Amino acid sequence: MSLSIQGKTAIVTGSAKGIGLAVARHFLSKGAKVMFADIDEACLEGAVGDEARTEGPARMFVGDLREKLTIANLLSATIDAFDRVDILVNASRRMVLSDPLNAEDDGVEGLWRENVLTSLRLSQMTAKRMIAQAEKAGTEGPVGTIINVSSIAAVRTQPGLLGYSMASAALDQMTRSMAVELAPRGIRVNAVAFGSVMSASLQAALKEDPAWRTRISDGTPLARIAAPDELAEVMQFLASDASAFMTGQILTVDGGRSLLDRVDVPAF
């Protein structure tokens, strides 16, 4: 089986910065056509604006994917640009602290909507497009792949991460459920759960409290924070035929963090 994603079309959400940008850039370097999607127009313009204005393999889409109409517009823009969609990477995610005793704290609701429901709706609507294009072409066999970005917070309880942990756990179960539902239609659904990756959220946290870097390294057997590109390599594997018999799996990429009993190390 091949790791190649040459010629495939991918939508990568949250691709203005951090993990999403690394994945989108990596896919481009491997010969895929990529729709960069994000709500942050300024960051997205800075990341891919010049390339997106050409007729090359990169395009960009700005919009709030919490809205169904925006999702429909994203899919239409992708089909208009590339005629099809083969890969969806749900990398758009947010991490905020939540107070478990504050009933007025809307952090849990916000994370549920952004990290879970957005990925679910986009996966559902993208899967329909994948199925329709396969039926139109009269092709049999693999139809597409969906990859979710999750966190080890789904299975490791940490202070202040109530909403984030709940959303991550729901995303994992959504991955499994969607995998079972879509397998007969030729669509595979998997997820990557990370520990600490140098994402935009973590960079901001380290600026506020540089001591976290040491805590993370000490709490990780490989003794470092992962670079976003390291997740991108795993995403390529899941998007390629090399993982053709894999679906409904949550791949843990955390440098061994989840092997240790540490609750004082942030998982984002």
Active-site positions?
Answer: 164
Sheet with strand 33-38: strands edge to edge? 58-62, 33-38, 9-13, 87-90, 144-151, 187-194, 250-253
Write the CB contacts of 245 (distance below 8 Å, at least 6 apart in sequence): none
**How is residue 94 annotated by DSSP?**
-
Q: Which two tokens stand for residue 162?
A: 């109530």
Cα–Cα distance, 77 to 55 (Å, whole number): 14
Question: Helices 118-137 and 162-182 meet at what angle, rounded to 10?
Answer: 20
Radius of gyration of the chain (CA): 18
E strands, 133-172, in order: 144-151
Q: Which two tokens stand for residue 130?
A: 């994948």
Q: Are the CB atoms for 221 and 259 separated by under 8 Å?
A: yes
Least Cα distance to 144 among 223, 247, 267 occurs for 247
To the nearest 10°, report the CA torsion of 50, 66, 20, 28.
-50
Say which residue the tokens 């969906």 belong to: 146
Instruction: Please state the φ and ψ torsions of residue 239, each to the nearest 5 degrees.
Output: -85, -15
Least Cα distance to 64 among 88, 106, 92, 85 occurs for 92
